[in-house]
Amino acid sequence: MIVVIVIIAIIVVLAVWFVSIYNGIVRKDNRCDNAWQTIDAQLQRRNDLIPNLVETVKGYAAHESGTLSAVTQARAAVMSAKTPEDKMAASNVLSDTLKSLFAVSEAYPELKANANFQQLQSELSDTENKISYARMSFNDCVLEYNNAIETFPGNVVAGSKFKERQGFEVQSEAARQAPQVKF
């Protein structure tokens, strides 16, 4: 009788342990989804600001149509991306094209002095900072989740139901290079 009670107790403890680990993995997976939704919201905010910025620049730098076209196309690519991985890649391209747009503004003092442009540039810079922070948070969530499903005993509990997630990575070599400051 005591042996049966011990066996039942062991089974109950193992079941509670298994459920606890499984629920922890589900919570980490949900945190990754939530972190991605935060990034997505900031990307949408940036996408909403870009048409106003492009229109403001058009008024001052009409012959910079190549840069304006690149920004518009990059924005469209972000908006049409379906998977998080595609959005990550398109977002990196858009960030690079926005740098080009702001470089163009340096050549037009009237544009740089325009209050609307300054406000849009400030809002876009603030949004880029939020996107950067959200990406770091997402990467932290992904790391925690991946560790949970790849280490023992989580890997046993996760089985084939939970798949490894991909975090944000620096895509371009230009982003890896330190900027050169010359006086």
**pLDDT of the chain along its 183 residues, tens only?**
999 999 999 999 999 999 999 999 999 999 999 999 999 999 999 999 999 888 888 777 766 778 888 899 999 999 999 988 899 889 989 988 888 888 877 778 887 778 888 888 899 999 999 999 999 999 999 999 999 999 999 999 999 899 999 998 866 555 545 444 343
Neighbours of 53 (CB within 10 A): 24
Whole-angstrom distance, CA of residue 80 vs CA of residue 76: 6
Amino acid, res. 181? V
Which long-range CB contacts under 8 A does 37-41 form with residues at least 24 apart?
Answer: 38/134, 38/137, 38/138, 39/87, 39/131, 39/134, 39/135, 39/138, 40/87
How many C-beta atoms lie closer than 10 Å to residue 28's C-beta? Answer: 21
Least Cα distance to 78 among 96, 59, 58, 104 occurs for: 96
Entry pTM: 0.80
Determine the Cα–Cα distance for residues 33 and 49; give it in Å rounded to an integer.
25
Task: Please name the residues in contact with 172: beta carbons below 8 A apart, sequence gap of 6 or more.
Answer: 92, 96
Token pair in block for residue 35: 């972190």
